[in-house]
Amino acid sequence: MGGEAFLMRAAVLHDIGGRLKVEDVRLEPPRRGEVLVRVAAAGVCHSDLHLAEGHLGRERIPIVLGHEGAGIVEAVGEDVRHLAPGQHVIFCFVPPCGVCRACRSGRSHLCETAAMWAWRGTMLDGTTRLRLVDGSPLLHFNFVSCFAELAVVPAAAAVPVPRSLSLRDAALIGCGVVTGVGAVRNVARVRLGDTVCVIGCGGVGQHVVAAARLAGAGSIIAVDRGREKLERAVRRGATHAVDASTVDVVQAVLELSDGGVDHAFEVVGLPATIRQAWDVLRPGATAVVVGLAPQGAEVSLPALDLLSEKGLKGCYYGSANHAAELPMLAHLVATGRFPVADVVTDTCDLEGIDGALDRLRRGEGGGTVAIIDPDATSGQGPKDGPIEPAP
């Protein structure tokens, strides 16, 4: 599909460690195999903060952040068959190519093609659809860049969801929910009666707790330094709460679990908490690292512990088949079987996203959802009027 670029508002990061600036941005129309989505809502995630602070490298600037969100399809490019204007979608930030080694082996979440272009900050053809008003290029964050009124994404990055699902709730599914649920379901494979420890009870950690409850875990020990987060984790299914600011975490968890847990989930991304997850395991058990650690961080483990057959596994994006699992999760959320609204403690608009990142820096509150289109998230439909072409 050809045509003129659109003019929209977006939150732009110009400098690593700097503030987001909400400004006019040009967005080119979708090309072959791409779709244009009017963004309804976007989750503010720690991954956005990691990139903004340089923990994922310092090369991808200027950039429009935002990788967790939902919206309404406005237009589709050539060869797009599974989407049409008016459909509600959630974003998937790993659009699989289907032909690389990872995709052929059934691990599309590790798609080598998507990873290569995501780290370069472009679309799958190596170019960008985003530009500043002076014509200089802007980079994409994981193909999505939904801290904006509009987004052009690969067709595989837009997954249809039922209209009965609130777009505000849907905005959390494409990252936080699928990551937390996938860690429990696809990596740890928690079984009925298992003992679980969750270290880090922010947004994703809360979904790990709820997923462990849904899987039938017999005991779920939540660990965090924030009282409100621990109270929220108990409401979502944790059977025990350990305040990491007042007690020795390892000792407390070992006592509560009678010598060690079956599964430990680290949802912080720090060497110290990864080591805690290892230390609370019983012999033969495995720790799953869900948290995103900064570049250069290293973890040291006692080699002798390997004789007890402990394991340490990584988990990326829930290790999920997103084309199948995102619609499944959307159904669970829409029918009330997996609530997500209680994880959200703050909402904002585009201008408030920078403040939401500050709350993440300070470890305050729970999740934040940026309401980009209030009418769409309220169920009244998107804003009236056509999308304006750039002058």
178 has pLDDT over 50: yes
> Residue 293 is part of which domain span?
180-315
327: left (phi over 0), alpha (psi -120 to 50) or beta: alpha
Query: At residue 378, does pLDDT exceed 90?
Result: no
Above pLDDT 70, what percent of the chain? 96
Q: Indicate if 73 and 164 belong to the same structural domain.
A: yes
**Does the residue 321 lie in any domain?**
no
Which whole number is the average pLDDT over 277-299? 95
Q: Which residues pair with 241 in a beta bridge?
A: 222
pTM of the model: 0.93
In a domain, 301, yes or no: yes
Are residues 157 and 194 both part of a single domain? no
Q: Residue 300 domain-assigned?
A: yes
Question: Does residue 50 fall inside a structural domain?
Answer: yes
Instruction: Say if 215 falls within a structural domain.
Output: yes
Do residues 307 and 366 both lie within one domain?
Answer: no
pLDDT at position 383 over 60: no
Q: Is residue 386 very low, low, confident or very high in pLDDT (cuts 50, 70, 90)?
A: very low
pLDDT digits (tens, 9 = 90+) for 118-173: 999 999 999 999 999 999 999 999 999 999 999 999 999 999 999 999 999 999 99
Q: Are residues 233 and 351 in the same domain?
A: no
- Report the CATH number that the domain containing residue 230 is assigned in CATH: 3.40.50.720
Residues 349 and 289 in one domain: no
Residue 367: inside a domain, yes or no?
Answer: yes
Backbone angles phi, psi at 132, to 5 degrees: -70, 170
Residue 230 located in a structural domain: yes
Give domain status of residue 223, yes or no.
Answer: yes
In terms of domains, do 140 and 250 share one?
Answer: no
pLDDT computed for residue 377 by the predictor: 87
Based on the fold, state whether residues 107 and 192 are members of the same structural domain: no
Same domain, 65 and 137: yes
Q: State which amino acid sits at residue 64.
A: V
Average pLDDT over residues 4-9: 92
Q: Per-residue pLDDT averaged across 212-225, rounded?
A: 97
Q: How many domains does the chain have?
A: 2
**Strand 20-27 to 6-13 pairing:** antiparallel
pLDDT at residue number 381 = 58
Q: What is the pLDDT of residue 2?
A: 57
Mean pLDDT of the chain: 94
Q: Looking at the structure, do residues 254 and 344 belong to the same domain, yes or no?
A: no
Strand residues in 48-125 grouped as ranges (E):
63-64, 68-76, 88-91
**pLDDT tens readout for residues 317-347:** 999 999 999 999 999 999 999 999 999 999 9
- Angstrom CA distances, 255 to 209, 240, 248, 282, stand at 20, 11, 11, 12
Q: Could you give the CA distance from residue 9 to residue 11 in angstroms, rounded to a whole number?
A: 7
